[in-house]
Structure 1
Amino acid sequence: MKTIPVETTINGDSTEFLCQPDESLLDVLRDRLGMTGAKEGCGTGDCGACSVMLDGRLVCACLVLGVEAQGAEVETIEGMANGEELHPLQRVFVEEAALQCGVCTPGILVAAKALLEKNPDPTDTEVRYWLAGNLCRCTGYDKIIKAVQTAAAEMRSA
């Protein structure tokens, strides 16, 4: 099968890669570009473990073809921290024990960041609704919701 060249921006950096026409963006990120933050939980877009932003939209990278990143802007969990400083969401998730095994965490963090960019003061119900596409088997969602709310409050006051 012929490989296709793709030029895109990932986490603010211009990036070029070759991929197969049927290769998912998740596989490109993990296998070709070494960005292993997004995880494959289900491969069908049901769990949200592979959530990334594509041109400002929250998507499951397992359902997007790598070639669809042509000319697009992709944001992954790897781009969330500012150098050595964690994003407030990342820091609060650690401080409030809102994570356990780490499979779902990157997708939840990307989704939560997308929510707070659209709505910096969400209610508990809005957070739960927004994160409904992200499944976690290890921890209760209450800690996750509380961590998002705490980070949102910190970000608003900063």
Structure 2
Amino acid sequence: MRGGTPIRLTVNEKAYDATVEPRRLLADVLRDDCGLTGTKLGCEQGVCGACTVLVDGEGVRSCLMLAVQCAGRDIRTIEGLAADGRLHRFQEAISAEHGLQCGFCTAGFVMLVVGALDQDPTIAEDPERLDALLSSNLCRCTGYEGIRRAVLRAYGRDRTHSEEAAGDR
């Protein structure tokens, strides 16, 4: 590629070497160059949140971030959450609480919640902070209540002792 910049991305603990135009978005490189299609592109303007991934543990809109900005940083996509064939506790909870319907926004919500609540689990106990977090992503199908229940199931005070004893991530 003429005018491309060679970069190495670390995505889900795997190195990807690519030569990209400096203007290419992280979302496009993840999907097209890395083959990680779990990250969805909705509005492509940073509004809907469907493209949310974790960069150094923080949720970011991959449709607004340039791939070259991510060289040398830790990127985590929905494909990187499951470990040893086992879903992340929030993935299990969102399924159990019927927090998804068409599924288009699901990966973005999962990455948003995991990024925020792994850093600060007290968000789950504060209705205003939880509402603010969830309202930053759009879902046209569920009405958010199932997603809210899933957050409380995975991170809330009411988690069962057996889930905690099992060492859920």
TM-score tier by shorter-chain length is over 0.9
- Runs of at least 4 residues of structure 1 off by over 4 A? none
Alignment correspondent of 1:130: 133
The Cα of 1:17 is off from its aligned counterpart by 1.7
Q: Is the 8 A contact 2:26 2:67 kept in 1?
A: yes
SS at match of 1:63: coil
TM-score, with normalisation over the residues of structure 2? 0.87
Q: Deviations over 1:111-148 (max 9, x none)?
A: 11012112223223222111222100011111111111
Q: CA deviation at 1:50?
A: 0.2
Greater mean alpha carbon deviation, residues 48-57 or residues 12-21? 12-21
Does residue 157 (structure 1) correspond to residue 164 (structure 2)? The answer is yes
Computing the radius of gyration from Cα coordinates, the structure with the larger value is 2
For 1:157, the aligned partner's letter is: E
TM-score by length of structure 1 reads 0.93
SS of the residue corresponding to residue 17 of structure 1 reads strand
Percent identity at matched positions? Answer: 39
Shift of 1:61: 0.2
Question: Hey, what's the Cα distance between the residues in 2 that align with 1:92 and 1:146?
Answer: 8
Residue in 1 aligned with 2:71? 70
SS in 1 for 2:135: helix
Q: CA deviation at 1:15?
A: 2.2
Please list every run of 5 or more consecutive structure 2 residues that lacks an aligned counterpart in the other structure: none
Q: Where do residues 18-37 of structure 1 align in structure 2 (5 Å cutoff)?
A: 18-37=19-38
- Tell me, yes or no, if the aligned pair for 1:124 and 1:145 is still in contact at 8 Å: no
- Runs of 5+ consecutive residues of structure 1 not aligned to the other structure: none
More moved, 23-32 vs 129-138? 129-138
How far does residue 34 in structure 1 lie from its aligned partner after superposition?
0.7
Question: What is the CA deviation profile of residues 13-35 of structure 1, one whole-angstrom value per residue up to 9, with x for unaligned ones?
Answer: 22222212111000000111110
Residue aligning to 1:39? 40
Shift in Å, 1:83:
2.8
How far residue 80 of structure 1 moved from its aligned partner, in angstroms, is: 0.9
Say what the alpha-carbon RMSD is for the aligned residues: 1.6
In structure 2, C-alpha distance between the alignment counterparts of 1:41 and 1:126, rounded to whole Å: 25
Residues of 1 paired with 2:37 and 2:9: CA distance? Answer: 18
The residue that corresponds to 1:148 in the other structure is: 151
The answer to whether the 8 A contact 1:93-1:144 is kept is yes
Matched residue type, 2:143:
G
Give 2:148's aligned amino acid: I
SS in 2 for 1:145: helix
Q: 1:77: how far off?
A: 0.8
